[in-house]
Amino acid sequence: MVTPPRLVPLLEQFDFARERLTGRLAGPLMDSGNGVGIDVTPLGDDEYFWEPVPDCWSVRRRAAGPGPRATVLEGRGDWGRDSARSPHPFPPPFTTIAWRLSHVSEMLTLRADHTDGGRSLSRADLPVPGDAAGAVASFSAAADAWRTALLGADDAALDTVGHSVYPYGSDAEDLFVDVVWWVNQEILHHGAEIALLRDLYRARRP
């Protein structure tokens, strides 16, 4: 199928954001932005779970229960991601790299399923990785799934409200092209947050 021309720049933006985040997490090199390669130490477990301030939300062993101000651990398996039923705590808890990476991977996986899959997956169905390498692999698989879903969209789909029926967003009320734009912004801003946390971890004092 021919990719609709107005989807092309959104795909290019997604690919750029995805590649930048993957490089920042896994290395061995990432583009500095001016074509110069910068050495990257792959994300390790200590950094994955690092809490730069007290009472962070993170990914935790299910047996340990939710963290401060959280009421539930989202996901399936031995690990879960801190969350709370509405209303959410205010001010919002600061979140670790583990939390942010799990959140992004979940969003991509579920949106792919609710766009071009069985349209049945929920947060309770998705395993939450309990280690950095697993989380990076999960993000890569989720990004692949979302991109595949995008390549199945024609012009009519882009102009369809509810082409994605992702249950945790406004997808059921928005044109699909607006959903695609929003997902890109999620990758860009969470990717920037994760990159900043990596910089802070590297620069922290003993």
Give per-residue pLDDT as tens, 76-108.
999 999 999 888 899 999 999 999 999 999 999
pLDDT at 182: 97
Tell me if the bond preceding 92 is cis, omega within 30° of 0: no
Instruction: Please compute, for residue 61, the number of CA atoms within 13 A of its CA located in the half-sphere on the CB side.
Output: 2
Tell me if the bond preceding 91 is cis, omega within 30° of 0: yes
Residue whose tokens read 């990159």: 195
pLDDT range class, residue 68, cuts 50, 70, 90? very high
What count of other Cβ atoms lies within 10 Å of the Cβ of residue 167? 12
Burial grade of 164 (CB within 10 A; 0-12, 13-18, 19 or more): buried
Higher pLDDT, 36 or 191: 191
pLDDT at 87: 85
Q: In this model, does residue 71 exceed pLDDT 80?
A: yes
Higher pLDDT, 61 or 1: 61
Q: What is the rounded average pLDDT of the residues 108-136?
A: 97
pLDDT at 34: 75
The chain-wide mean pLDDT, for the chain, equals 94
Decide: 163 and 183 in contact? Cβ < 8 Å. no
Q: At 146, which amino acid appears? A: W
pLDDT at 101: 98
- 16 sits in which H/E element: helix 8-26
Q: What is the pLDDT of residues 156-179, one digit of tens each?
A: 999 999 999 999 999 989 999 999
Q: What is the pLDDT of residues 74-83, one digit of tens each?
A: 999 999 999 9
Residue 73, classed as helix, strand or coil, is strand
pTM of the predicted model as reported, rounded to 2 decimal places: 0.94
Chain centre distance of CA 36: 26
pLDDT range class, residue 191, cuts 50, 70, 90? very high
